[in-house]
């Protein structure tokens, strides 16, 4: 008899029937559907199926989270439904047809900016720190700064500009590199093109507005202005795509034997010419126009309305992925106006959603299972990462999301009304104050108070009425006192908290609690003695282990690495094999994962606790098979 017979029947019914399934496959933990009409899928009923741990939609795929037993479930489902599964690539290709042009553009934009954001955040913090020590006059009766009265701090102030300049003035280099990385073309050509946009031979882009004379290249029949594109976002993006499509074109038509010589030359030289004569000037004008419109809205007579709408709708915008567009707008505002009044509202929205989760945590303080999601989601939200809170808590219950949006709108109006301005994009959430110009700290603190108090109070009051009384009275089963056990890190690297894993299924603890690992090694070893119960032999990116005491573990190398179809992975064990702690399970190529555009972050979670409680250790460097990162309490 089939193990999941009733669950399979229910899933087929609630997903809209066989006729609503365009394609289906599975990875290590999830069924991945491309649906004809996603609206026909009844997510509430699907999530009520016993075998289902959750659902979400990403990149045109409707994903149903099953866990380690997904292969068995998948086989039973396809057999019962009378459909054939397809390859991961086929599902991915089919999923694109479910995405609108806007979704595809926004998705691409997000993938371009994702590798750059850490540098932008770091640069914003550095600029904020520089201005604290060099621009705020706290000494000599308010006439001198710390840098004025101390040679050491004067040196620090000067030295830190080295990094600030590299981040913001040389930003086009990072953007063009990221585009070539995303599009799978030659990354060093992207770096070279980016460098030609910020060459010291050119008039610095930040000096164009005040320059009395702009130098030119004189070709006799034509002249081209020697203008640099320091800090320009759209110009760099347009130049990057010109290079990408030129390279793809010449690769397609050029014989293999001479492609190494012809393709780079015929791609790079025309791309540089087009960048400086056509798309660069066009991008500059577009960027200025977008920033000017946003700035006008935020400084007009109805700026409070603009702020209220932005503050209210920013959280839903995050859920659609459209929020990536604000990175380009923020950067353009910084370049034009030496600061941004948009970013503070984004930080306040993070705080507001975190405060709604905090209220849910108080309401569900006796529900340990809910707290496993609430507490990490609240912490990450207050630190600027809202997805765990949005998808794991607020959207699930509905009213906390709206309460957070309401508080965010009020906080945004306060921020705009008092003229709060940030140096640049910075850390979101509570640490966002570090990127705010010091003269606006008090105003921002008032806005922060609104973003904390209003969502918390609204969520708490409404939750008292809406939440069933028994939701706060279901503690997890307690384990009998046993000998303390520990599980070693399966991969060498830095151990990070679960909520920092860049995947909502893992970060929300849907599959179980655990840790993330930023790998420094390339081997996956057994974290404890046990049996291999699940193995993705075709892709090699994940495996599951069952221990003798009933505990089950999952190791998942990289995020979305199932799309790589095994490239860069080698499996050294078989399903059902007995392994000991430290035995080699998988080897992988971190560079191949990065080149495929995926995070290398590895998830290590306890998918079945067998009634036991565990402590999860993070913030340290671990050696594979040696350093304990999960301990039984």
- 139 and 248 together in one domain: yes
Across residues 623-630, what is the average pLDDT?
A: 89
- State how far the Cα of 541 lies from the Cα of 503, in Å rounded to an integer: 15
- Report the interhelical angle of 399-417 vs 343-363 (nearest 10°): 140
77 & 182 share domain: no
- Using alpha carbons only, give the angle 463, 468, 470 rounded to the nearest 5 degrees: 125
Region of poorest pLDDT, from 24-28, 369-373, 410-414: 369-373
Burial state string for 477-492 with b = 16 or more CB within 10 A and e = fewer than 16: eeeeeeeebbbbbbbb
Q: Which tens digit of pLDDT belongs to each residue from 524-575?
A: 999 998 888 888 767 788 898 988 888 889 999 998 888 787 888 999 988 8
Q: Please state whether beta strands 628-632 and 614-616 pair in parallel, antiparallel, or not at all (unpaired).
A: antiparallel
Backbone angles phi, psi at 47, to 5 degrees: -70, -15
Sheet architecture: strand order including 523-525? 523-525, 584-588, 569-571
CA distances from 71 to 25, 50, 235, 306 (A): 10, 16, 47, 49
Whether the per-residue pLDDT at 187 is higher than 50: the answer is: yes
pLDDT tens digits along 35-80: 888 888 888 888 888 888 778 776 677 888 887 678 788 888 888 8
**pTM (2 d.p.):** 0.53
By C-alpha distance, which of 264, 420, 298, 276 is closest to 348? Answer: 420
Q: What is the pLDDT of residues 315-362, one digit of tens each?
A: 876 654 445 456 667 666 776 677 888 888 888 988 999 899 999 989
In the block, residue with structure tokens 């910084």 = 334
364 phi, psi to nearest 5 deg:
-110, 30
pLDDT digit string, tens, across residues 287-299 = 777 767 777 777 7
**Structure confidence at residue 124 (pLDDT):** 63
Same domain, 328 and 452: yes
Residue 47 has what pLDDT? 84
3-state secondary structure 246-290: HHHHHHHHCCHHHHHHHHHHHHHHHHHHHHHHHHHHHHHHHHHHH
**What is the predicted pLDDT for the residue at 314?**
82
Mean predicted confidence (pLDDT) in 170-190: 90
- The domain boundary residue, chosen from 291, 311, 344: 291
Tell me if 108 is assigned to some domain. Answer: no
d(CA 171, CA 336): 15
- How many domains does the chain fold into? 4
Q: Which domain holds residue 521?
A: 486-632
Q: Is residue 441 part of a domain?
A: yes
pLDDT at 445: 94
Fill in the DSSP letter of residue 340: B
Q: Which residue has the tokens 């992988």?
A: 588
Which residues are the active-site residues? Answer: 27
Same structural domain, 588 and 608: yes
Report, in angstroms and rounded to the nearest whole number, the Rg of the chain calculated over CA atoms. Answer: 26
Partners of 21 in beta bridges: 35
One domain for residues 507 and 628: yes
Residues 374 and 433 in one domain: yes
For 24, the enclosing helix (H) or strand (E) is strand 21-26
pLDDT in tens, 222-270: 899 999 998 787 889 999 999 999 999 999 999 988 988 999 999 999 9
Mean pLDDT calculated for residue range 413-439: 81
CATH number of the domain at 562, please.
Answer: 2.70.70.10
134 and 64 share one domain: no
Residue 544 and residue 493 in one domain: yes
Looking at the structure, tell me whether residues 28 and 94 fall in a common domain: yes
């Amino acid at each position: 008899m089939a193990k999941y017979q009733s669950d399979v029947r229910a899933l087929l019914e609630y997903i809209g029937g066989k006729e609503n399934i365009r394609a289906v496959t599975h990875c290590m933990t999830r069924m991945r559907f491309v649906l004809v009409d996603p609206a026909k899928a009844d997510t509430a009923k699907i999530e009520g199926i016993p075998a289902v741990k959750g659902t979400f939609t990403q990149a045109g795929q409707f994903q149903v989270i099953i866990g380690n037993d997904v292969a068995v479930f998948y086989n039973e489902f396809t057999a019962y439904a009378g459909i054939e599964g397809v390859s991961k690539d086929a599902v991915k290709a089919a999923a694109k047809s479910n995405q609108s042009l806007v979704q595809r553009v926004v998705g691409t934009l997000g993938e371009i900016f994702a590798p750059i954001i850490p540098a932008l955040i770091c640069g914003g913090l550095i600029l904020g720190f520089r201005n604290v020590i060099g621009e705020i006059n706290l000494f000599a009766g308010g006439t001198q700064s710390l840098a004025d009265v101390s040679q050491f701090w004067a040196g620090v102030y000067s030295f830190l500009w080295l990094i600030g300049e590299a981040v913001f003035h040389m930003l086009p280099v990072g953007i063009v590199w990221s585009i070539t990385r995303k599009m799978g073309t030659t990354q060093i050509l992207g770096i070279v093109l980016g460098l030609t946009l910020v060459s010291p031979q050119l008039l610095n882009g930040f000096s164009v507005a005040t320059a009395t004379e702009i130098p030119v290249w004189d070709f006799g029949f034509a002249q081209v202005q020697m203008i640099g594109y320091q800090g320009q976002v759209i110009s760099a993006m347009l130049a990057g795509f010109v290079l990408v499509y030129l390279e793809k074109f010449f690769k397609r038509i050029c014989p293999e034997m001479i492609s190494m010589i012809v393709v780079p030359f015929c791609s790079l030289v025309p791309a540089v010419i087009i960048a400086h004569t056509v798309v660069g000037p066009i991008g500059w004008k577009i960027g200025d126009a977008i920033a000017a419109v946003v700035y006008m809205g935020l400084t007009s007579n109805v700026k409070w309305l603009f702020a209220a709408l932005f503050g209210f709708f920013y959280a839903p915008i995050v859920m659609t992925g459209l929020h990536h567009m604000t990175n380009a707008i923020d950067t353009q505002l910084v370049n034009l106006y030496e600061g941004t009044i948009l970013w503070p509202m984004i930080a306040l929205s993070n705080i507001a959603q975190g405060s709604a989760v905090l209220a849910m945590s108080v309401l569900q303080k006796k529900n340990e299972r809910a707290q496993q999601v609430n507490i990490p989601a609240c912490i990450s939200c207050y630190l600027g990462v809202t997805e765990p809170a949005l998808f794991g808590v607020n959207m699930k219950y509905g009213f906390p999301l709206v309460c957070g949006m309401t508080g965010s709108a009020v906080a945004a109006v306060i921020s705009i009304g008092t003229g709060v301005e940030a140096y640049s994009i910075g850390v979101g959430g509570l640490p966002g104050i570090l990127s705010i110009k010091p003269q606006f700290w008090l105003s921002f603190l008032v806005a922060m108070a609104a973003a904390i108090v209003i969502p918390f109070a609204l969520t708490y009051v409404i939750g008292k009425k809406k939440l069933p009384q028994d939701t706060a009275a279901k503690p997890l089963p307690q384990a009998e006192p046993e000998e303390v056990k520990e599980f070693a890190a399966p991969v060498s690297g830095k151990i990070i908290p679960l909520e920092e894993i860049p995947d909502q299924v893992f970060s929300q603890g849907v599959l179980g609690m655990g840790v993330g690992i930023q790998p420094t090694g390339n081997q996956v070893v057994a974290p404890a003695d046990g049996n291999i119960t699940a193995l993705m032999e075709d892709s090699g990116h994940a495996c599951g282990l069952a221990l003798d005491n009933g505990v089950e573990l999952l190791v998942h190398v990289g995020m979305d690495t199932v799309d790589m179809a095994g490239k860069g992975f080698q499996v050294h064990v078989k399903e059902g094999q007995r392994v000991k702690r430290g035995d080699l399970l998988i080897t992988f190529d971190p560079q191949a994962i990065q080149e495929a555009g995926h995070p290398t972050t590895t998830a290590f979670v306890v998918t079945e606790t067998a009634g036991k409680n565990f402590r999860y250790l993070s913030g340290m460097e671990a050696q594979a098979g040696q350093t304990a990162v999960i301990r039984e309490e």
